[in-house]
Amino acid sequence: MKLKNQKVLIVGGSSGIGLATAKAALEEGASVVIASRSMEKLGKANHSLGQKAMIIQADLADKNSLETLFREVGPFNHLFISAAEPKTGLIRDTDLEDIRSSLETRFWGTYCATQLAAPNIARDGSIIYMSGNAAVHPIKGSSVGSASVAAVEAFARVMALELAPIRVNVIRAGLIDTPLLDRYGNQRQGIIEGYSKRVPLKRIGSAEDVAEAAVYLMKSTYTTGTILQVDGGALLI
């Protein structure tokens, strides 16, 4: 119960990694606020958490919405930004305005949320951002997703200096079994099997694997400016 009397805000907490982290933080004794765009998803998520979280509708892409969120949350201890809706596409095929929104949300949303959160986070608290192996391992079609997570990693290192003693860390995940993978449609299973065959740990990650890392970063009081790799060893090969 190392997070007892601590308040954790998870933006993107209604699904996947964010939701698993909400559960893990509750188990460590924290009070938890989950935020995302859909009240319906938030309601279902909170049902799965035994109605133990507080839910607030918020859009990482919308400054007004984030201002309302941080006003409602008040002082707190840990911010985890798990929200994202990554877009993919080969450069020859993509519409610029459509694809740029994913970088806008991931990078400027993270910037804005950090700016609004910093005055309200406890001095011994922390911020955690999500990144993925695409930040360092190129995959055709992932140009904007890769650039946006790489930007967040670089941003995090600067924030670790500027906001200290508040700690700022990043989780860089490999392929994780969450609703995000539904966008692959009938290729989903093949992608999972291919990844599981390739990586040293021979399986895809679970949302709980990443939640474990997120809670570790909340509790680890001498860790800042780090990128924690949670990918089954994918980058070793």
List contacts with ligand NAP (CB under 6 A).
11-12, 14-18, 36-38, 41, 58-61, 82-86, 105, 130, 132, 173, 175-176, 178-180
Q: Give least dist CB 66 to ligand NAP, A.
A: 9
Q: What is the CA radius of gyration of the chain?
A: 17
Q: Taking the CB of residue 228, how many other CB atoms lie within 10 A of it?
A: 18
Q: How far is the CB of 69 from ligand NAP (least distance, A)?
A: 9
Which residue number, 7 or 41, has a Cβ lying nearer to ligand NAP? 41
Nearer to ligand NAP, 124 or 193 (CB): 193
Q: How many helices (H) and strands (E) in the chain?
A: 8, 9
By beta-carbon proximity to ligand NAP, the closer residue of 72 and 124 is 72
Q: How far is the CB of 55 from ligand NAP (least distance, A)?
A: 10
Which residue has the closest beta carbon to ligand NAP? 16
Nearest approach in angstroms of CB 116 to ligand NAP is 14
Q: Which is nearer to ligand NAP, 40 or 95 (CB)?
A: 40
For ligand NAP, which is the closer residue by CB, 38 or 187? 38
Q: How far is the CB of 227 from ligand NAP (least distance, A)?
A: 12
- The residue type of 27 is E
Q: Between residues 28 and 85, which has the closer beta carbon with respect to ligand NAP?
A: 85
Residue 59 or 107: which CB sits closer to ligand NAP?
A: 59
Query: What DSSP string describes the chain?
Result: -TTTT-EEEEETTTSHHHHHHHHHHHHTT-EEEEEES-HHHHHHHHHHTTT-SEEEE--TT-HHHHHHHHHHH-SEEEEEE---------TTT--HHHHHHHHIIIIIHHHHHHHHHGGGEEEEEEEEEEEEGGGTS--TT-HHHHHHHHHHHHHHHHHHHHSTTSEEEEEEE--EESGGGGGGGGGHHHHHHHHHHHSTT-S-EEHHHHHHHHHHHHH-TT--S-EEEESTTGGG-
Q: Tokens 């095929």 map to which residue?
A: 93
Minimum Å gap between C-beta 27 and ligand NAP is 18
Shortest Cβ distance from residue 90 to ligand NAP (Å)?
19
Residue with tokens 């099997």: 193
